[in-house]
């Protein structure tokens, strides 16, 4: 009886030990399961964070408008600007670079002069544009919300051309009527030269180049300003050249690129992206010099020899800004302020976005 009791007691003890072991195992499994669940939750959260970060990145990229509106000076059958910018669009180099940042279309709009272009920039029709330094400076001094992001050339030459059998020298313009595009680089050059030569009595009339060319042919005006291929064509047709700004380095013009502050708010990295795209276009242009001059000749409806004369490749700047270019801008700005053509003075460095 005692033996049976001990066997039963031993069996009970063994059963209790089994229960205890089983309980321990169950607890460990639960703990392990909880630990695994916790790790899974961490990975899921990490995955969610990654997805959110990716979503955030896409949102940032998608904030860049797909369409970019660009303005330039000079209508032509190709609807393209000259310089590295025009070559880049012509060859598709700039478009390919902009696509990397979500810009799928670039709308190019030509303007007859800088003041018209700055009005479109101020109104929001344009996001950015390339134009002469004088209208860009006048606009900024007048309160335009723009930033200077590049100066592609600093050797724009202006010409003063007289009617046939008219004035023979700049001093002969005393008391005469002269046409120019008011607010343009040529306006600044003309006024600066007349002041330098002591010519104080003259009448300025605002005319675009085609109108001024016709007025000069009719004899309605005594002289006009001109630039580029059109000037060379006039001189070749027998109209007397009174002066050109290559003789006065301080009166040379430059080509600048400005962007609206509204567009910068949407795409803060645009200046860097644009200038890098332009530099790629310029590098390609230098490898195809003859083709580039043929491209310019098609734009200007002239010959490669003439465009080599008025727009030599070496006039194009390799970088967004240069010391000589900025010095020319500073001198132009000071002159415009002094002549009250610009409403207020400012520092070029405050306008410039490096």
DSSP labels, 105-139: EEEEEEESSHHHHHHHHHHTS-SEEEEEHHHHHHH
Instruction: Write the CATH number of the domain with boundaries 158-250.
Output: 3.40.190.10
Tokens of 257: 């690129």
pTM: 0.80
Q: Three-state SS for 79?
A: coil
Q: Which of 158, 155, 162, 117 minimizes the C-alpha distance to 136?
A: 117
pLDDT of residue 39: 35
Q: Which of 238, 268, 258 minimizes the C-alpha distance to 60?
A: 268
pLDDT of residue 107: 98
Q: What is the pLDDT along the chain (354 residues), one digit of tens a residue?
A: 333 333 333 443 344 343 334 443 333 333 333 333 333 333 323 333 333 333 334 444 558 999 999 999 999 999 999 999 999 999 999 999 999 999 999 999 999 989 999 999 999 999 999 999 999 999 999 999 999 999 999 999 999 999 999 999 999 999 999 999 988 899 999 999 999 999 999 999 999 999 999 999 999 999 999 999 999 999 999 999 999 999 999 999 999 999 999 999 999 999 999 999 999 999 999 999 999 999 999 999 999 999 999 999 999 999 999 999 999 999 999 999 998 999 999 999 999 998
Same CATH topology for 64-156+252-351 and 158-250?
Answer: yes
DSSP labels, 11-76: HHHHHHHHHHHHHHHHHHHHHHHHHHHHHHHHHHHHHHHHHHHHHHHHHHHHTS-SEEEEEEE---
DSSP state of 230: H
Rg (CA), the chain: 35
Q: Domains of the chain: which residue ranges?
A: 64-156+252-351, 158-250
What lies within 8 Å, CB to CB, of 64 at 6+ separation is 101, 102, 103, 266, 267
Domain range 64-156+252-351, CATH class: alpha beta
Q: Which of 102, 104, 115, 137 minimizes the C-alpha distance to 71?
A: 115
pLDDT of residue 283: 98
């Amino acid at each position: 009886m005692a033996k049976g009791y001990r066997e039963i007691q031993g069996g009970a003890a063994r059963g209790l030990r089994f229960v205890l072991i089983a309980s321990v195992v169950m607890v460990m499994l639960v703990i392990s399961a909880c630990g695994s669940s916790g790790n899974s939750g961490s990975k899921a959260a990490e995955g969610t964070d990654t997805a959110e970060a990716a979503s955030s990145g896409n949102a940032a990229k998608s904030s860049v408008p797909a369409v970019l509106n660009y303005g330039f000076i000079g209508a032509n059958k190709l609807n393209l600007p000259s310089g590295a910018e025009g070559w880049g669009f012509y060859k598709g180099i700039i478009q390919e670079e902009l696509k990397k940042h979500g810009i799928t279309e670039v709308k190019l709009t030509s303007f007859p002069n800088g003041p018209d272009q700055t009005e479109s920039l101020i109104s929001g029709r344009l996001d950015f544009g390339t134009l002469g330094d004088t209208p860009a400076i006048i606009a900024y001094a007048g309160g335009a919300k723009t930033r200077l992001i590049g100066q592609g050339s600093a050797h724009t030459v202006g010409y003063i051309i007289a009617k046939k059998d008219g004035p023979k020298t700049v001093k002969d313009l005393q008391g005469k009527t002269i046409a120019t595009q008011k607010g343009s680089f040529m306006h600044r050059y003309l006024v600066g030269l007349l002041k330098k030569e002591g010519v104080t009595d003259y009448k300025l009339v605002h005319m675009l180049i085609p109108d001024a060319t016709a007025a000069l042919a009719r004899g309605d005006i005594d002289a006009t300003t001109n630039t580029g291929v059109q000037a060379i064509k006039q001189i070749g047709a027998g109209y007397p050249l009174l002066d050109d700004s290559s003789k006065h380095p301080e009166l040379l013009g430059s080509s600048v690129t400005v962007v609206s502050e509204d567009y910068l708010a949407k795409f803060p990295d645009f200046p860097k992206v644009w200038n890098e795209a332009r530099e790629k276009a310029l590098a390609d242009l230098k490898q195809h010099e003859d083709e580039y001059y043929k491209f310019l000749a098609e734009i200007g409806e002239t010959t490669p020899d003439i465009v080599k004369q008025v727009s030599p490749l070496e006039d194009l700047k390799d970088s967004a800004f240069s010391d000589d270019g900025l010095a020319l801008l500073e001198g132009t700005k000071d002159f415009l302020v002094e002549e009250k053509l610009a409403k207020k003075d400012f520092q070029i460095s405050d306008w410039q976005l490096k």
